[in-house]
Structure 1
Amino acid sequence: MKLILPVELAPNIEPLLPANITFVRVDSEGNFDGDPSGAEVYLNGFKLKNTTLHKVLAAAPTIRWQHTPSSGVNHILTPTFLEHNIVLTNGSGVHAIPIAEFVLNFILYHAKKVRKLEDLQANHHWFNWLELEELYDKTLLIIGAGNIGQEIAVRAKAFGMRIWGSRRHPQPLPNFHRIVGVDEWKTLLGEADYVVVATPLTPETKGLINADTLRLMRPSAYLINIARGAIVDEHALLTALREGWIAGAGLDTFETEPLPSDSPFWSLPNVFVTPHCSALSPQLRQRIVALFLDNLTRYRHGRPLRNVVDKNAGY
């Protein structure tokens, strides 16, 4: 069996492969260090470009299973990819812990007025009575109660928050006080103190957070996006932030990345901008490798793979 491995993950995987498996490496531009013909399995690299994906598919039409380390697959489900009969699996779950911790970072940054405290320190000013918000008894609405949403709920529960979530097929989940269906979350926006976007990007979720939904939120509410930038209508969000429809936002992802240097998001005082880093930790790579190798064993023995993507649903 032959594999195609990305150069950035190959050093972690190659020493752990069985002796009867061969491989070729591919870089971020789709250049191979060997002959990819006959490869059956493709592990793509980080930030996979359409051009690279299509070069790999053309060079190795025998690929039957592709694994991506990302949770989102919107960038992979191109018309060219869908023409091939390829089972796609994703990295759902491997990013959940660091992202969940980062969401609490966004929430605490807002509640505890960290920016204000940093300004006071920078100006050597002792403010005698600065009241900071508690998270206890605040309401957190998580749009997308998948692996990441569930890890967020675990941590938010420890702070005594009231946790609501939405998912395609609503059913009770540990640590959630309430789970609603795909569209019902809109009726909860007026009661939520914090709204976290944790749903995959699909044609149905593009622009999900728009002027209409932002208008439903409290003026004191805080929006957090750790999913995909295109889920939020950025023009509408800028208006909401400038005009006080909501109190602020923590944004780790944007429709255009890197975020252009002239973007107004950089300088808005009620926005915390981070460079799509919420999933990154020293443990991430080992989780990615462990999941791929487990699925490789399953594939070789004809057993069901983990994290198979529903290409029609988009996740």
Structure 2
Amino acid sequence: MKIILPTDIATELEAHLPEDIVVVRVDSEGNLDGDATDAEVYFSWFFLKLTTLHRVLESAPQLRWHHAPNAGVNHIITPKYIERNLILTNGAGVHAIPIAEFVIAYMLSHAKQLPRLHQQQTQHRWQKGLSIQELLDKTLLIIGAGGIGQEIASRAKAFGMRIFGSRRHPQPLSNFDKVVGADEWKALLGEADYVVIGTPLTWDTKGMIDAEVLRLMRPNAYLINIARGAIVDEFALIQALQNGEIAGAALDTVFAEPLPLESPLWSLPNVFITPHCSGNSPRVKERSLALFLDNFARYRQGKPLRNIVDQRAGY
């Protein structure tokens, strides 16, 4: 069997593959170091360019299964890709722990007024009397109670928070006080102190956090986006932040990345911007390789694969 591996990790992976596996390496531009016409499997890596993906698809007409390390695969599922009718699996779960920890950090930063306290330190000011809050008994709404959402909930529950979640197929979940369907979360906005966007970017979710949604949120509510920037109507969010319609936002992802220098989001005092780094961890690579190797063993044995993407749904 022949497989295509990215040059970034090929050496590490080859040490764990059976001896009868033939590897063709591909670089970040889509250049292959061998004949991939009979390759069955392609493992892409992070920051995959669409041009690189399409070059691989053209070079591997017998490709059957593509594994991507990303949780979000909206950049992969193009009409041209769907035409190939490949099995696509993703890296759902490998980033869940670092992202969940970041969400807790965003909430604590807001509740404990850490930016203000840090500012006071740099200004050598000893000023008491800030309105510092607890997370205890606060309500957290997680829009998208998948693997990442569930890791967030398990950590937030330890702080004594009340936790609501939404998912396409609602069901009771550990650490959630309530789980509703994908179209029912808007009714919960008026109760939420913190709203976390954890849903994949699809045609249905693009721009869904719009002016109407932001008006339904409480004036003291804090929005956290660790999913995809295009899920939020950025103009509506800026207006809501400037007008005090919500208390603030932590944004690890924005519509255009990197965030343009002229964006008002840089200077709004109630916004915490991070450069799409909430999923970063030295252990993500380790988990990504382990997931692929487990799935590769399943593929060879004809067993069901983990993390199969519904390409029509987008995740």
Give TM-score, length-normalised by structure 1: 0.98
User: How far does residue 129 in structure 1 lie from its aligned partner after superposition?
Assistant: 2.5
Q: Which residue of 1 aligns with 2:32?
A: 32
1:261 aligns with 2:261: yes
1:84 aligns with 2:81: no
Q: Which residue of 2 aligns with 1:57?
A: 57
Q: Which residue of 1 aligns with 2:159?
A: 159
Map residues 215-234 of structure 1 onto 2, 5 A cutoff: 215-234=215-234
User: How far does residue 313 in structure 1 lie from its aligned partner after superposition?
Assistant: 1.1
Give the secondary structure class of the aligned counterpart of 2:28: coil
The amino acid that maps onto 2:46 is F
The amino acid that maps onto 2:107 is I
1:121 aligns with 2:106: no
User: How far does residue 37 in structure 1 lie from its aligned partner after superposition?
Assistant: 1.9
User: How far does residue 280 in structure 1 lie from its aligned partner after superposition?
Assistant: 0.8
Q: Deviations over 1:127-184 (max 9, x none)?
A: 1322311000000000000000000000000000000000011110000000011111
User: How far does residue 276 in structure 1 lie from its aligned partner after superposition?
Assistant: 0.5
Q: Which residue of 2 aligns with 1:2?
A: 2
Give the secondary structure class of the aligned counterpart of 2:121: helix
Q: Aligned partners of 1:211 and 1:8: how far apart in 2? A: 42
Shifted more, 30-39 versus 191-200: the winner is 30-39
Q: Which residue of 2 aligns with 1:272?
A: 272
User: How far does residue 186 in structure 1 lie from its aligned partner after superposition?
Assistant: 0.2
Map residues 1-315 of structure 1 onto 2, 5 A cutoff: 1-315=1-315
Q: Deviations over 1:174-220 (max 9, x none)?
A: 00000011111101101100000000011000011000000000110
Q: Deviations over 1:27-84 (max 9, x none)?
A: 1211112222211100111121211111100011111000000011111111111111
Q: Aligned partners of 2:25 and 2:255: how far apart in 1? A: 30
Q: Deviations over 1:256-286 (max 9, x none)?
A: 1111222221111111000101111010000
Q: Aligned partners of 2:97 and 2:141: how far apart in 1? A: 18
Q: Deviations over 1:81-129 (max 9, x none)?
A: 1111210000011110000000001101111101100111011111132
Q: Aligned partners of 2:11 and 2:246: how far apart in 1? A: 46
| Identity within the alignment, % | 66
Q: Aligned partners of 1:194 and 1:85: how far apart in 2? A: 39
Q: Aligned partners of 1:110 and 1:28: how far apart in 2? A: 39
Give the secondary structure class of the aligned counterpart of 2:282: coil
Structure 1 gap segments, 5+ residues each: none
Structure 2 gap segments, 5+ residues each: none
Give the secondary structure class of the aligned counterpart of 1:71: coil
The amino acid that maps onto 2:80 is T
Size of the aligned set, in residue pairs, is: 315
Q: Aligned partners of 2:229 and 2:7: how far apart in 1? A: 27
Q: Aligned partners of 1:31 and 1:191: how far apart in 2? A: 52
Give TM-score, length-normalised by structure 2: 0.98
The amino acid that maps onto 2:172 is P
Deviant stretches of 4+, over 6 Å:
none
Q: Aligned partners of 1:7 and 1:235: how far apart in 2? A: 40
The amino acid that maps onto 2:188 is L
